[in-house]
Structure 1
């Protein structure tokens, strides 16, 4: 990318906001391959917006970018955490903004790529976060209550103090239901109220966002093919290695899609065939939730193609980087 084009893209930082590209999409939509093609075309660098690719040792089950792909294009926020570490949306946002500033300072185009909707929204909406520290005693109390009374009763209570949050939660969202109670008990404010109060931070960059949106049947076929490939590539052995680390039961990786199901398989709770089917089902469900999330973001332009090459060409034309 020559100096003239660099000026066209970024403009004068003293008068206009600098551009940041965002490529989002559900799992197995081809967004990583698309981002690689775009980054190579413009000399950009990629910032991962995937909550599980942060973790070292979670490679196969997260479809993490390979070392060869990282040689082609520099990636940020990949392999920065141990499997038992926690990383909040606020922490990711801060790290992503630091990476964006670094990339821009070196005259490159930052390309945020991933499917974790909360991460994408934190940038596009300029959310500032009121930190509510985890209280382990309260969390244990709430978990024990959920065991006794069930998540339905606890979700009904969330509906009383925060109808908007309750409407977005499902009975299976135990962790988020408990977190809603936790936030309310610790702050005296509902999660929705805190979110509303956090939306005053100005957005520091000009984000141009795209979302890959494959036809549903094709997306589901890709998910099934991906799960089959992960199992063939050694997902079971990868989880066996994690198991040897004696990670706590609530470690993030133990709850991640694919890993949770294989941990159950290793515990003798399901056959390999049942495990494969279960991973495919929960991955399809996750993809549906991702699309629901991205549908609510008005700043995102949908790209309805199954080809990373076609998607990359569309993006390059839209950001005026090709002649």
Structure 2
């Protein structure tokens, strides 16, 4: 029998956290963060990390495991989560992955093999030297030419992933997209993917309100503290919620400009999240109405009970 896994996915601010708590309480579950940034300590407000008082006694995993200067890859995520699934199932509880990092969740559920091609130090150093000499733009443009699909999934400033994608091509003769397509479509889990969707204008308004609340809760102070600790140039600080506010903290732009950029980038990210989950994964979608959560919660609970009891 395959282990049962529940995943709750969807764009930022759609209401995944609230639903996940209710699902965990009703079905004896434990929650695994499916957000690639919530693994970092000290990055709480900008990642919308759940607060201890909001957990309602439900165990949460994959939070606060790394310092912001430590690397954390999709392969690392997969390894951690698959171990958590094994442990949670061993306690006769339901593992519930909750988040919006599509590739990461897909890698877990479909057991993507990211580590069979070991790093080639000489290739890595060669590409790093090119990065130093020509800049990330040149490497990213090369990746766009040889593997536009993979390039569309990577932020242009994510030097680690750009180098890794080019390294795989140099070493195997396959683009990262081709390499990933060789992975099996089979899954080691019996999984149910619950997706939350919402009217676009309602969602965008919620995103804007969430960011206003983040600012009120101390996001600027959080970013300033991370800069003081010397984390500015690490990959973690390229995340939405941090990179937009760094110029303000350094006195380079006005606060209103920084916040407007953060809201715009967050709305665009939500759109990309929708596109990923709709195109890449077999998700059962539910319309999330913030004014009537009991209605769609009830439908989800009914379907989930049938899944867990079959």
TM range, smaller chain: 0.7 to 0.9
Partner of 1:133: 119
1:1-323 to 2 correspondences below 5 Å: 16-129=1-114, 130-133=116-119, 135=121, 137-144=125-132, 146-147=134-135, 150-151=137-138, 154-155=140-141, 157-158=142-143, 161-162=146-147, 164-165=149-150, 168=152, 172=156, 175=159, 176-197=161-182, 199-200=183-184, 202-247=186-231, 249=233, 251-307=234-290, 308-320=293-305
Listed one character per residue, the Cα deviations across residues 217-254 of structure 1 (whole Å, up to 9, x for unaligned) are: 111000100010000110111112111211251x1321
* Rounded Cα–Cα distance in structure 2 between residues aligned with 1:239 and 1:207: 37
* Rounded Cα–Cα distance in structure 1 between residues aligned with 2:295 and 2:26: 13
* Rounded Cα–Cα distance in structure 2 between residues aligned with 1:163 and 1:232: 39
SS at match of 1:261: coil
SS at match of 1:54: coil
Listed one character per residue, the Cα deviations across residues 183-203 of structure 1 (whole Å, up to 9, x for unaligned) are: 323443311222123x13852
For structure 1, the 5+ residue unaligned runs are: 1-15
C-alpha change, 1:164 and 1:232, in structure 2 (3 Å) is: closer
For structure 2, the 5+ residue unaligned runs are: none
C-alpha change, 1:194 and 1:132, in structure 2 (3 Å) is: farther
Aligned residues: 302
RMSD value over aligned CA atoms? 2.6
C-alpha change, 1:53 and 1:88, in structure 2 (3 Å) is: same
How far off its partner does 1:263 sit? 1.5
How far off its partner does 1:300 sit? 0.6
TM-score, normalised to structure 2, is: 0.88
C-alpha change, 1:46 and 1:309, in structure 2 (3 Å) is: farther
* Rounded Cα–Cα distance in structure 2 between residues aligned with 1:174 and 1:298: 24
SS at match of 1:259: coil
* Rounded Cα–Cα distance in structure 1 between residues aligned with 2:64 and 2:275: 28
C-alpha change, 1:276 and 1:89, in structure 2 (3 Å) is: same
C-alpha change, 1:205 and 1:169, in structure 2 (3 Å) is: closer
SS at match of 1:110: strand
> Is residue 21–residue 55 contact of structure 2 (8 Å, CA) maintained in 1?
no
C-alpha change, 1:159 and 1:56, in structure 2 (3 Å) is: closer
> Is residue 140–residue 156 contact of structure 2 (8 Å, CA) maintained in 1?
no
Listed one character per residue, the Cα deviations across residues 252-292 of structure 1 (whole Å, up to 9, x for unaligned) are: 32101111112121112211111110100110111111111
* Rounded Cα–Cα distance in structure 2 between residues aligned with 1:64 and 1:162: 33
How far off its partner does 1:158 sit? 3.5
